[in-house]
Chains A and B, each alone.
Chain A
Amino acid sequence: MNTGEFLLKGNRIMTKGQKGPPGFAARLEDGILTLLLVSMIVLSFTQILLRNFFETGLIWIDPLVRQMLLWITLVGAMVATRERNHITVDAIFRHIPPGRGKFATNFICNTFAAIVCALLTYSTFRVFHMEFQDPQGGFIMTGLPLWVSLLTMPVAFGVMTLRFIRFSILSLLQTIRGEANP
């Protein structure tokens, strides 16, 4: 639920207009999202046209679109991390008065998330690695080995780990200083 968008506006880190690598990464992610979504829609639509009007179909579209769903999810989750817009249970957080208490809570949550994401990176990397080393590895479609899609998982969780570490450090600094703007 994007309640974050409605409730926590002041609490978000604005990436708009950010320069340097983080700004570039943000634009890249947004671009990939649009590209993935639009190609997913166009490909599915083409498949329907082919199926219903020409009674044929392209075999590679369906598996590719299914992989695209995974990629959209991962990039969407990366952007959600960047914008601090993940779904959370904020029943308690909402009632913590602004100030040190809130910063400290943020610190705990971000650290927790960073650790879990790091473990997920490791776990998904193992899955990728096993497939990558398998000489008889599978293919999603001709020219696209399965390990390419598997690789997107550790990359995405890796990026999320780095972001949560950054948030964690920022909120630790805020807790020490007791104010929002460093």
Chain B
Amino acid sequence: MTAVLGIICIVIGFLLGAPLFCVFAAMALLGWHIDETSVSVVGTDIFRLSSNFILITIPMFTYAGYLLGESGAPKRLVKLSRALFDVMPGGLAIVSIIACSLFTAFTGASGITIAALGSFLFPALLQDKYSENFSLGLVTTGGSLGLLFAPSVPLIIYGVITETPISDMFIAGIIPGLLMLLILCILSVFIAKRDKIPTSPLKWKDLGAALWEAKWEIPIPIFVLGGLYGGFIIVSEAAAVTAFWVLIVEVLIQREISYSQHKKVVKDSMVMVGGILIIMAAALASTNYFIDVDVPMKIFDFIQRYVSTKVVFLILLNCLLFALGMILDIFSALVVVVPLIMPVAKKYGINDVHLGIIFLANMQIGYLTPPFGMGLFISGYRFNKGIIQTTAACLPFITMLIGSVLLITYWPDLSLFLLRIMGRPY
């Protein structure tokens, strides 16, 4: 009786929009209560947040990303990339794709890319005579690109949950991530040629000036990406150095962030971090219960009755993640679904690392798909366009991304190839 009532309440709360961490915590509390175990298990699980050293990278990277977003860094980044890429057709579109993915890698698909970069890339694209729909679609899609690159927080969270080495996740994401960028860049060049968007010759003076202006920010991606991919630094060191560097440069050297602005940046970024990690804590508690009562095994037994091959399982997985991406944001989906899906996927012979890449690539598209895709709403709100127009504008990009997700899913070597070269056992 309690069980049925409790489940009804939880479902209602979930659907009507109660905070997700409460929904997950309620599942854990109810589960242990039915199990006649002390509910203090939930408290102990929440406290487990403090036992993982990797998690401390999340507030630091998020803070660094928010601070960079608030400073003049996005403007300088775009100026620099324009000086480099305006020579080729589709130059500004390529700039947008690269700048957005670099930025999203540091901030997660939190809408901040659209806010920080989109708001001046969009008018710039229009000024360069790109069509309104193409520009809108590009900027919206850009808000979730780059999730597969280091040091993206979703990749870190996936590594933490599945106990996969974070460095392996970072390396596995490179080729699938680049594939997505490449496909979108090709689309952009094609559109730019069709619409006869003018190009401008390379001006060495502009390039020099842009390089000089960005002198404080250029070391960050070089240090973080180079260090992480090259294996010189571990992720917790990269996070601390990045946060420290950004704090010193943007607040003390460039002085673009005033004291009160800095307070707001801290608050906004930490509300985001608190919001994500409290969900993670609650999800730790609820999955702990689910695993205790063998839910993954039950899911597996159920699926196995209908699905016999890996390929069919992957197709189902694609559909499931696609649907999930429309309702849940990436972080919540990760912490709730991954622990349940991973043991099942393992039985079908899917590698943990590959599963992570499939998961994120898939969720990224869900972020852009109607009727619930979050990216559409953020972008529509930001640029004052209707949801239908925004959706239509995103369609060509979504199609391209779906193509690349399928490639990523059914061609595991794409994710695992680099790891094998480096001698990891995959």
- Give A residues with C-beta under 8 Å from B: 1-3, 5-7, 30, 33-34, 37-38, 40-42, 44-45, 47-48, 62, 65-70, 72-81, 83, 85-94, 105, 108-110, 112-113, 116-117, 119-120, 122-128, 130, 149-150, 153
Contact = CB atoms under 8 A, between A and B. Distances in A.
Interface stretch (B13-21, B396-404, B407-415): B13-21
B275 A76 contact: yes
8 contacts: A30-B263, A33-B270, A37-B270, A41-B243, A76-B272, A87-B276, A127-B44, A153-B46
Nearest to B14: A89
A33 B266 contact: yes
Given A48-B237, A76-B271, A89-B14, A112 B59 contact: no
Contacts of A150: 47
Nearest to A119: B29
A31 to B, nearest CB: 9
B168 interface: no
Given A48-B240, A116-B26, A85 B271 contact: yes
A109 B109 CA distance: 26
B199 interface: no
Interface of B: 9, 12-23, 25-26, 29, 38-44, 46-47, 49-53, 55-56, 58-60, 63, 109-112, 115, 236-237, 239-241, 243-244, 247, 262-263, 266-268, 270-279, 281, 326-329, 331-332, 371-372, 374, 377-378, 381-382
A149 B20 contact: no
A126 B271 contact: no
A108 B12 contact: yes
Contacts of A41: 60, 63, 240, 243-244, 247
Contact of B17 (A30, A42, A67, A105): A105
A70 B53 CA distance: 11
A66 B22 CA distance: 24
A153 B298 CA distance: 33
A62 B53 contact: yes
Nearest to B53: A66
Q: Is the interface of B mostly helix, strand, loop or mixed?
A: helix
Contacts of A85: 271, 275
B270 A79 contact: yes
Given A41-B247, A69-B56, A153-B43, A89 B271 contact: no
A88 to B, nearest CB: 4
A67 B16 contact: no
A128 B249 CA distance: 41
Contact of A117 (B12, B22, B56, B109): B22
A75 B271 CA distance: 8
Nearest to A91: B372
Given A37-B266, A123-B29, A130-B40, A90 B47 contact: no
Nearest to B237: A48
Contacts of B273: 72-73, 76
Given A41-B244, A44-B236, 11 more contacts: A5-B111, A30-B267, A34-B262, A69-B277, A73-B273, A86-B19, A87-B329, A90-B17, A93-B16, A109-B13, A153-B47
